[in-house]
Chain A
Amino acid sequence: MTKNSIDLTLKIWRQENSRKTGVFETYRLKDISTDMSFLEMLDVLNEKLTREGRDPVAFDHDCREGICGTCGAVINGVAHGPEPETTLCQLHMRHFENGDTLVIEPFRSRAFPVKKDLIIDRSSLDRIIQAGGYVSVNTGGTPDGNATPIPSATAELAMDAAACIGCGACVASCPNGAAMLFTGAKISQLSLLPQGQPERKERAMAMVTAMDKEGFGNCINAKECEAVCPKGISIRNIARMNREFVKASFLG
């Protein structure tokens, strides 16, 4: 591990609550160890602000190991910052230079209202899943796990899609705030697996309808979502969703 440290200027979006408008505030941090994670750097800032009697920056975070999907912010215009396939909590300060200015903004979309500072409301994503992102099976009475063989390659493809952590970076990076990658990943996972077949058409229709209702924008195939996705989810899943949707709409 290196023992380097850097000085930074942070420009952070500060917004008291969803009713008020926000502004950017500038903070300077000295001697930030490059071994710190981005969130630990924010911890250091917050400890400093607290000691000065100022309001610390509110930001969402939980597991801090890149899997829960709670954290996320736009760093210098890129959701989750400059490292590919990395959540904000797994981004380390060694990827920045001494003297850098970092502009830190919340994930933005009409469907993601800001609650405070960098904290947003992503319940719209939950409602998309509620519309049909499941197999309608009650607890109990299910067949043996090996009753239906699933080719290894299919299981792997489904797993590729299922790896989505629901962080919302795809929406944040999309020029139109579309949730196609998120929705496409879930529809893909379930339409690939035999367990998802009975409700395949209804699911595609219901989830796409829910997505539009929540105020997400439309896909213009800009591919920005795929580029920032911390789990490397491919836009192939969007194509698969489109296929499912077209099939469901025209072939009913």
Chain B
Amino acid sequence: MAGTGSCLVLFLCSHAAGNATLFHSLRLFQAYANQLHGHPMIIYVLSKGLFLTFAIHIITGILLFWQNRKARDHKYKVQKRTVKMSQASRTMIYSGLFILLYLIIHTSAVSFGDHETIGLTISYLFSSPLVILFYITAFIVLAIHLSHGFWSMLQTFGVNHPKYNKLTGWLTYIVPISFLLIFGAIPLLFI
């Protein structure tokens, strides 16, 4: 989970950087898209690799979810969370599935659409307040998913040391919030 998760975070970074061109102008964004598609090899490798990473991330996630449900075969009569922050960790599967739903919609509408008119596609898309709402909700869910996922990834890689825990603690807030701000602001540009 952590391995694929970290790849996906990197993808999000590049995606956010690309999309940030929208803050300048729709034209620049279109130019960026055209530029990107001018290298079919890159697109081919990246899109297949990305698909594979997503698939592994999702399938492992679902498998682990089932395995973990089986390991706790008997629920407690009284369920109590001692750790308040752990809510995000317990809902990873649900936030993850919602993001999957978003991905299906987003990719079929945007990514697999005609890249030459991608600028038009998104301005058409974001003319509907419902779509904007759906996108922003998805980004909030993504932020929640990442709020646990990012720290969890570090922990799984063994990064937990009093010396650096303050920094990683900050990053677990900064990383999801940055993504939320960048991605979340884009639909709002079209209002």
Residues of A participating in the B interface, judged by any CB pair closer than 8 Å? 11, 13, 24, 74, 76-78, 103, 105, 108-111, 173-178, 215-224, 226-228, 235-236, 238-244, 246
Contact = CB atoms under 8 A, between A and B. Distances in A.
Given A222-B90, A239-B159, A240-B158, A173 B82 contact: yes
B35 interface: no
A223 B159 contact: no
Most buried by B among A13, A216, A242: A242
Nearest to A238: B155
Given A105-B78, A246-B158, 17 more contacts: A103-B78, A105-B76, A110-B72, A111-B71, A174-B72, A176-B67, A176-B71, A216-B71, A217-B71, A218-B67, A222-B86, A223-B85, A226-B83, A236-B160, A239-B158, A243-B157, A246-B157
Contacts of A241: 158
B166 interface: no
A145 B33 CA distance: 68
B80 A78 contact: yes
B57 interface: no
Interface string B76-106: 1111111101100110100000000000000
Contact of B155 (A13, A176, A228, A242): A242
Contact of B82 (A109, A178, A227, A239): A227
Most buried by B among A111, A220, A242: A220
B156 interface: yes
A224 B74 contact: no
B141 to A, nearest CB: 17
A221 B70 contact: no
Closest 7 CB pairs of A and B: A243-B158, A77-B80, A217-B71, A239-B160, A176-B68, A77-B78, A227-B82
Given A74-B76, A177-B72, A223 B90 contact: no
A242 B158 contact: yes
A242 B67 CA distance: 19
Interface string B121-159: 000000000000000000000000000100110011111
A220 B68 contact: yes
Contact of A222 (B69, B77, B89): B89
